Structure 1
Amino acid sequence: MADLARRRAGVNLGAVVILSDFNQNAGPPPLQAAETLGVPLFTVGLGPAVTADIAVELQLPPLLKKDERSVLTAVVRHEGYDGQTVRVAFAARRVSADPTVTASETPLGERTVVLDAPSVDVTLPIEPHEAGHFEFIAQVDPLPGETVVENNRSVRDNYVREYYLRLLFAEYEPTWEWRFVKEVFHRDRLVGEQGFRTYLRSADLSVRRQNPLFLETLALPRSEFFSYDVLILGDMPEAALTSSFCEMTREFVADMGGGLVVLAGPRFGAGRLMNTPLGDMLPVQLGPHSQIRQARPFRLRRTAEADLYDFMQLGDNPLENDQAWLNLGPLAWYQPVERLRPMATALAVHPTDKCLDGVTPQPIIAVTNYGKGEVVYIGFNELWRLRRKYGELYYRRFWGQLIHRLALRHALGTQKRFVVRSDRKEYKAGDTAVLTVEAYDADYRPLADDLAGGTLEGRLVSGDSMRPLRLAMVRPGLFQTRSPVSAAGEYRLQVRDPITGDWAESRFLVQSRSVEKQVASRNLELQRRLAETTGGRAYELQDFEQLIDELPAGSKTETNVQEIPVWNTWPVFVAVVGLLFGEWFFRKRANLA
């Protein structure tokens, strides 16, 4: 329609008849193009308006770790199969570096579900025992009457990684929270002895020097500081938080996507952070000299937003979750704040106390985004009380899910310093991919022009084809290019790290399936809106003869303006000849000729 609108100049168009299933493949929005055309549209529908169809879409967690439990989710959507039972099968296949080698699929499990809603979520817990690049598959069996079966299978790729998270806990003295967090993560397979380090200000210097678990100082080299994934900041005095530490922490969260947890304590109080650059990072505003409040014990109250955060879900169901949080018991004190910052979210609040505005409940647990990372504020340091009756079950679940969430924003392994990304994980053939690299040097400073030469060397690999790329520097630390992707298949974006010489890689998928193969039914709503918006009418194919009779037949008056030179007309010719004849006649009578 947009093309017709451009070509109709000078054409007296009375109406347009469109025969289609009205499922759009590409191009501008149809309604916008119809308005530009400016004539009535008479739409004739091809294909059934309602069909029997079932489709599956596989959703993967963003992070899969070897020997750690993860959950695959298959979203099954259907039309016309209410109440029927279907089998959903899950499988995995290792992706070989050699594109000519295709591994066989390994079944992971299957689920049988009843289609009692238009969309049904089917989950399968898995525990990968091998690291590497894998394709995960979800598939539903075809049902009688299906016209399109291409959407019965969904394939997604991801990496199963073998790594450990790096966690730094800074505290002044060995509180109960510090002791139990240290025990939990020191034995945790995701962190372990290699991943957990602590700085304990009050510890003897010889202990800090000899025990590999302890850091001697917080004045770490940048290369070591930025290798951590999450920082936990306990009840530390202001004097221990140097400007260098605070600035690196701000850069770690805002620029590198790291996670920061701030635990309020009764000795120094969290208000001391407001006198440091860390104060602006918190989700709450504190008074710089505010003291803890311990007038009467209270039970914290979870907010409705807490249901959206996995680390606030301690039980497998709402009843168990309530029971787990009740197990925390009454709290004797908390750190009051002046207000909750804009864009921050309170996940747990005081049941009665308010902020300075007299309306907002005092936040006890709050979270906010800060740059590329996230900051969590906990207004007390007695979460260890969750261990009562149930041991580490709920305590480990809270801290494990919190650290896991914060670490997800931080790129993994050596990619913390050199991160290759595409703007999407899936494209359609003909799209343009935006390819970026966030690059830092060995000290985690943004890679500058003098090191990278203004561009990075890259290549885009798909099957047997390889296309060289140059990624130009947008600003120090960020390099970017755009590349069209015309053929379907899996693409590997590889960029050479100028510091190590190694190739870093990111993958994405280009799909070629058209709408016709994904949607079996006609878009009846769009068909009707196109007709109604333009003053036309919608028809079924069997009513086509009726359409012929109802097309507008009224005549239109056309005005055509033509410019004709005056000297080239008959009246002017006759006038000129008449004048010449008249002159000759009068001169003859006067005997002048």
Structure 2
Amino acid sequence: MSIMFEPVWNLPIAVVVMIATIALVLWTYPPRVQHHPPLTRRFLITLRLAAVLVLCIAMFRPSIVIENEEETEQGEIIVLADSSRSMGIKDGAGGLSRREVMLESVRIIEGQIADQENLKLQTYNFSTEPEPVADMTADQTEGSQTSLGATLRWIKQESTQKDIRSILILSDGAQRAVAPYDIDPLPEAMQLGASQLRVHTIPFGSTGFADNVSDLAVQDVQISDVGYEKKVVPVRVRVRAVGAAGKTIRVRMLVEDRRGVKLGEAGKMAPALAQEGATPFADIPIREESETVTAELSWFPEFPGEYKLAFEAEPLDGEIQTSNNIKHSMTTILKGGVRVAYIDRVRPENSAVRTVGSAQKIQIDTFWITMGKLIKRANISPKVFAPQEYDVFILGDVPADLLDPDSLQKLRDRVDEGAGLLMMGGLQSFGGGGYANTPLEEVLPVMMSPAQKQIESNPSTENHLVDQLKMVPTDAGQFHFLMQLGNDNDSVWQKLPKLNGANKIVPKNNFAEILAVDEQNHPLLISQDYGAGRVLAFAGDSTWVWVLQGHFEETQRFWQQLVLWLAHKEADTDQPVWVKATPRILSSGQRAAFQFGARDETGKAISENVQFTVNVKQPGGEMVEVTPRQQSNRFLADFQETVQPGDYWVQVQALRDNRPLGYSAWGRFQVEETDLELDNPAADPGMLQQIASATGGSFVEPEELLAFMERLEQIEQETDNQETIRLWDNWWFLLLFVLLMSSEWTLRKMRGLV
């Protein structure tokens, strides 16, 4: 029998802490009890020192080791070998694969354990959950993902049924898994450590690409979900280039050709055409050995519809892994069809706003307001604010007093039902126009106060930015549909002339989104949803200067996009039944969500007495029915069976009073063909280090494995015939500490010290 110590810290630190703690008690405690009789004083000090001593013993974690002469049962050494596809990467010495290098280490382990009578070696291959294997070979690299978390959880379960002495994990250390195997390894490792199950890890593979390996990967595509026919759609593509220094790579755009293709079927992908100023490809020089570059592309869609797009970095000579060279996206190209009510006084900005009327599907009706002391109310027919009369309302420099309260209330109701509202800048807009404490105060996304209202005889510019200012998109606005003005969007905005001042507007809550600011970061364009409608607050009223200085097309596009966005025309079609899949590009196993609905001849949503049937057509052609559900006035459905890559089509049929509501609506989403193991095959030895540390095991380089196994063999031989009793980890040790502290407290209470 012997005593063993395993201090919380290393031994010198633990001794210093113990001495310091005892010294602190002897220095601070006796003066507090010096007025008591000697016997009581000594007893209290003894109890306090005894409690501190118990804590110090716990800090040193003593154990009694008893030699066991009885024959012990055979324990198991578990070897878990990574069999995922990344282990087939040939980045080892002499061109060996990671798996081949790993097998050399397995042979060392087998040789060291073979002669141990009390130890049994169990070998497993793992990618997700371990599988027993008698003979490991180099070609066992078929796992499509690696889940270290699931493997560690399996170890925990196995330990309840087996006498596991040691666990060795041989892997490249990279966790690459999707649900249900995307389990964080570190919490699982901590649980094993708490159960005294040590995991030793041996790393394989390079953390980067080999010197002779080139790889291009399309990492991200940024494109608006919707666009409009015969309008250039900007695209930004981010590409990672490794091993391509000194070369020029080409990034190109491919578009689905749907001519002669039925709904529910995919068309062929063909290179996008360079027309009408569009640039569907870009050549980018690569200067660094590892570099991420951005390609600015654009596309000119000629016809409306839903398009599947692909963005490809053309493979380099000798590039081995090409599945990550392409990334897909989807966008909907729409046509217009909007009625706009424009209410304003005569001023220069009228000409800029009315450019929206040049769009084929936008009709703008202007209601001029005459200003004057004798005019109390604007001559606007109540019919203007009737339901379904207009899709979008634009309020210019018009004080609230000229619009009767009933009209303002009806306007609020129309927005709540789904109409769009834009309030422009002006001396008598927002708070200056007296819109605080009106029904529109609730609708507008800016802060307003009655004190801001203009005095007609003495107008003030206190709540205005009077200097010229440059309007620029925010980060949120950079890729928002509203702020897209050209192929090189940033450059277009920089070229636009400065505005002649603006209103000072401030978002009133966190739901308001700032899409544009000036160079001093003053908000200029703020958006927010209200009910079923959309609202914009535009602080400017001088976009007419853009037209005067030769930017008519940009001005027209800006105003047309404001109107179309307010009218929800970037998300709807003209069909009675509609469906939208979100997101439209998914990873394998990711849940797909659908939103769908129906509308009558007037465009009003139908939410009562309507039955929907939702089916999903899988890439193989099988139709799977999905159960729809209703939330308020919205209809939703989910689809989880998205393992197979390819195009999925969503078909929605609607019945009302047992009669079909128009044709079936079709939507589409795509599951990307990704290779978790080879898209980014870099090893992650850091993860293996963390697992070993969390369990109290060792992180062992392959060249140090033989020496480690000899040490491990000696430890196992010693522990086979030993029984360890931890003195600090049991109930009576805790009870002793509680009794000491309770006794001291009771005596102090009796003596009036508490």
TM range (shorter): 0.7 to 0.9
Q: What's the % identity of the aligned pairs?
A: 20
Could you tell me how far apart the structure 2 residues matched to 1:10 and 1:558 are? 20
* More displaced 10-residue stretch of structure 1: 165-174 or 312-321: 312-321
Aligned counterpart in structure 1 of residue 442 of structure 2, from 260, 272, 280: 280
Aligned counterpart in structure 2 of residue 370 of structure 1, from 520, 529, 540: 529
Structure 1 counterpart of 2:709: 548
Matched, 1:24 2:176: yes
Deviation at 1:495, TM superposition (A): 1.1
- What number of residue pairs does the alignment pair up? 516
Aligned counterpart in structure 2 of residue 434 of structure 1, from 593, 599, 604: 593
Structure 2 counterpart of 1:238: 403
Aligned counterpart in structure 1 of residue 682 of structure 2, from 521, 524, 530: 521
Deviation sequence 1:195-222 (CA, Å, 0-9, x none): 122241559xxxxxxxxxx999313333
Structure 2 counterpart of 1:262: 423
Could you tell me how far apart the structure 1 residues matched to 2:593 and 2:156 are? 31
Gaps of 5+ in 2: 1-151, 274-279, 371-379, 726-754
Letter in 2 for 1:171: I
Aligned counterpart in structure 2 of residue 488 of structure 1, from 624, 645, 648: 645
Cα distance change, pair 418–235 in 1 and its aligned pair in 2 (3 A): farther
Structure 2 counterpart of 1:210: none
Cα distance change, pair 466–174 in 1 and its aligned pair in 2 (3 A): same
Structure 1 counterpart of 2:73: none
Structure 2 counterpart of 1:166: 338
Could you tell me how far apart the structure 2 residues matched to 1:476 and 1:243 are? 22
Letter in 1 for 2:542: E
Could you tell me how far apart the structure 1 residues matched to 2:297 and 2:529 are? 34
Could you tell me how far apart the structure 1 residues matched to 2:472 and 2:429 are? 31
Structure 2 counterpart of 1:531: 692
SS of equivalent to 2:352: helix
- Asked if the contact 2:250–2:282 (Cα under 8 Å) also holds between the matched residues in 1, the reply is yes
Matched, 1:457 2:613: yes
Could you tell me how far apart the structure 2 residues matched to 1:249 and 1:493 are? 30
Equivalences for residues 91-102 of structure 1 within 5 A: 91-95=254-258, 96-97=261-262, 102=267
Deviation at 1:459, TM superposition (A): 0.9
SS of equivalent to 1:399: helix
SS of equivalent to 2:615: strand
Structure 1 counterpart of 2:307: 134
Structure 1 counterpart of 2:157: 6
Could you tell me how far apart the structure 1 residues matched to 2:513 and 2:252 are? 39
- Asked if the contact 2:200–2:699 (Cα under 8 Å) also holds between the matched residues in 1, the reply is yes
- Asked if the contact 1:492–1:507 (Cα under 8 Å) also holds between the matched residues in 2, the reply is yes
Letter in 2 for 1:459: N
Equivalences for residues 72-471 of structure 1 within 5 A: 72-95=235-258, 96-97=261-262, 102-103=267-268, 105-108=270-273, 109-116=280-287, 118-143=291-316, 146-161=319-334, 163-164=335-336, 166=338, 168-182=340-354, 184-187=355-358, 191-192=359-360, 194-200=361-367, 202=369, 217-222=383-388, 224-225=389-390, 228=391, 230-236=392-398, 237-239=402-404, 241-252=407-418, 259-266=420-427, 270=431, 271-288=433-450, 290-291=453-454, 293-294=460-461, 298-301=466-469, 306=474, 308-310=476-478, 321=493, 324-326=496-498, 328-329=499-500, 331=501, 335=503, 340-343=507-510, 344=512, 347-348=516-517, 365-371=524-530, 374-390=534-550, 392=552, 395-396=555-556, 398-400=558-560, 402-403=562-563, 406=566, 411-414=571-574, 418-439=577-598, 447-448=606-607, 450-452=608-610, 455-462=611-618, 463-471=620-628
Structure 2 counterpart of 1:354: none
Deviation at 1:420, TM superposition (A): 2.3
- TM-score normalised according to structure 2 size: 0.60
Cα distance change, pair 286–178 in 1 and its aligned pair in 2 (3 A): same
Deviation sequence 1:410-438 (CA, Å, 0-9, x none): 522236x7542334323344444333335
Q: Over aligned residue pairs, what C-alpha RMSD do you find? A: 3.8
Could you tell me how far apart the structure 1 residues matched to 2:625 and 2:492 are? 55
Cα distance change, pair 543–248 in 1 and its aligned pair in 2 (3 A): farther
SS of equivalent to 1:122: strand
Deviation at 1:265, TM superposition (A): 3.6
Structure 2 counterpart of 1:588: none
Letter in 1 for 2:496: A
SS of equivalent to 2:450: coil
Letter in 1 for 2:283: T
- TM-score normalised according to structure 1 size: 0.74
- Asked if the contact 1:488–1:510 (Cα under 8 Å) also holds between the matched residues in 2, the reply is yes
Letter in 2 for 1:103: K
Cα distance change, pair 15–389 in 1 and its aligned pair in 2 (3 A): same
Could you tell me how far apart the structure 2 residues matched to 1:19 and 1:444 are? 62
Structure 2 counterpart of 1:62: 225
Deviation sequence 1:212-250 (CA, Å, 0-9, x none): xx999313333x54xx3x542223433173423211213
Deviation at 1:522, TM superposition (A): 1.9
- Asked if the contact 2:339–2:364 (Cα under 8 Å) also holds between the matched residues in 1, the reply is yes
SS of equivalent to 1:515: coil
Deviation at 1:65, TM superposition (A): 2.8
Deviation at 1:492, TM superposition (A): 0.9
Could you tell me how far apart the structure 1 residues matched to 2:222 and 2:518 are? 33
- Asked if the contact 1:75–1:122 (Cα under 8 Å) also holds between the matched residues in 2, the reply is yes
Cα distance change, pair 61–306 in 1 and its aligned pair in 2 (3 A): closer
- Asked if the contact 2:651–2:664 (Cα under 8 Å) also holds between the matched residues in 1, the reply is yes
- Asked if the contact 2:348–2:544 (Cα under 8 Å) also holds between the matched residues in 1, the reply is yes
Deviation at 1:374, TM superposition (A): 4.8
Letter in 2 for 1:40: R
- Asked if the contact 1:293–1:336 (Cα under 8 Å) also holds between the matched residues in 2, the reply is no
Deviation at 1:471, TM superposition (A): 0.9
Deviation at 1:129, TM superposition (A): 2.5
Deviation at 1:116, TM superposition (A): 3.8
- Asked if the contact 1:231–1:260 (Cα under 8 Å) also holds between the matched residues in 2, the reply is yes
Letter in 1 for 2:205: G
